[in-house]
Structure 1
């Protein structure tokens, strides 16, 4: 019985929210790969998305903290020689390091799934994850020209 933390990002508002996904909804995510899209209506219990919106899987991490890597096929753990993200940010150009990563497929050993909302073409409505009161206040002050 898998349980995931879904971190869903909204490109319009720039905000992210975290949801805990349990069975039977969690079974819909098993087998999806990085870059796959899922219909937005599956999250109707958590968030109201506009009609036609989709959810694109962008990554995740396993129970040991290893990030999912798009270049490693399957639901496996592998050591790769990494020269850049995800999983390794070299302090100097050209540096490489052997790092543990997860494959690009979601399995029951994945704990966190990162995803982004893909709005329908030409959508101009409000964001699905709205701005908070402090962010709105900062934006209105910035428009008026007063420092925040």
Structure 2
């Protein structure tokens, strides 16, 4: 299953398509992994969240890969319009599995080359 890995480095964000996402299976929100898995050699990335194939967000305090209906008063998955409002919403567990299609990450330690140089993002804009 293909993953979309969103890599955030300060105010810049890059999206990477990863065909073989089996190496990411089993990682939990908060885990760090080698960026070489997604093509960013020399980088260390930290999982901060994600979404499954139906758009349900991963929540750090829900263990496992399951989907549950949780009573939320705010935070990930629900943003109430006024104070004190609670709502039951469906959220995904904190572990990456085959159902996850987007994985959000942040850079913990950078490599020697910039992410834009590795991905070749700046080359397309210069050609136009």
Q: Which consecutive unaligned segments of at least 5 residues does structure 2 have?
A: 123-128
Counterparts of 1:24-43 in structure 2, within 5 Å, are 26-43=21-38
CA distance in 2, matches of 1:126, 1:21: 20
2:18–2:38 Cα contact (<8 Å) kept: no
Q: Which consecutive unaligned segments of at least 5 residues does structure 1 have?
A: 133-148
Structure 1's consecutive aligned runs of 4 or more residues displaced over 6 angstroms after TM superposition are none
- Tell whether 2:43 aligns with 1:56: no
- Greater C-alpha radius of gyration: 1
Q: For residue 128 of structure 1, report the CA deviation from its aligned partner.
A: 3.1
CA distance in 1, matches of 2:101, 2:36: 22
| Structure 1 match to 2:115 | 128
| Structure 2 match to 1:100 | 90
| Structure 2 match to 1:8 | 7
Q: For residue 119 of structure 1, report the CA deviation from its aligned partner.
A: 1.7
| Structure 2 match to 1:69 | 59
- Tell whether 2:103 aligns with 1:113: yes
Q: For residue 126 of structure 1, report the CA deviation from its aligned partner.
A: 7.3
The alignment's TM-score, normalised by the length of structure 1, stands at 0.72
Instruction: Report the secondary structure of 1:94's partner residue.
Output: coil
| Structure 2 match to 1:138 | none
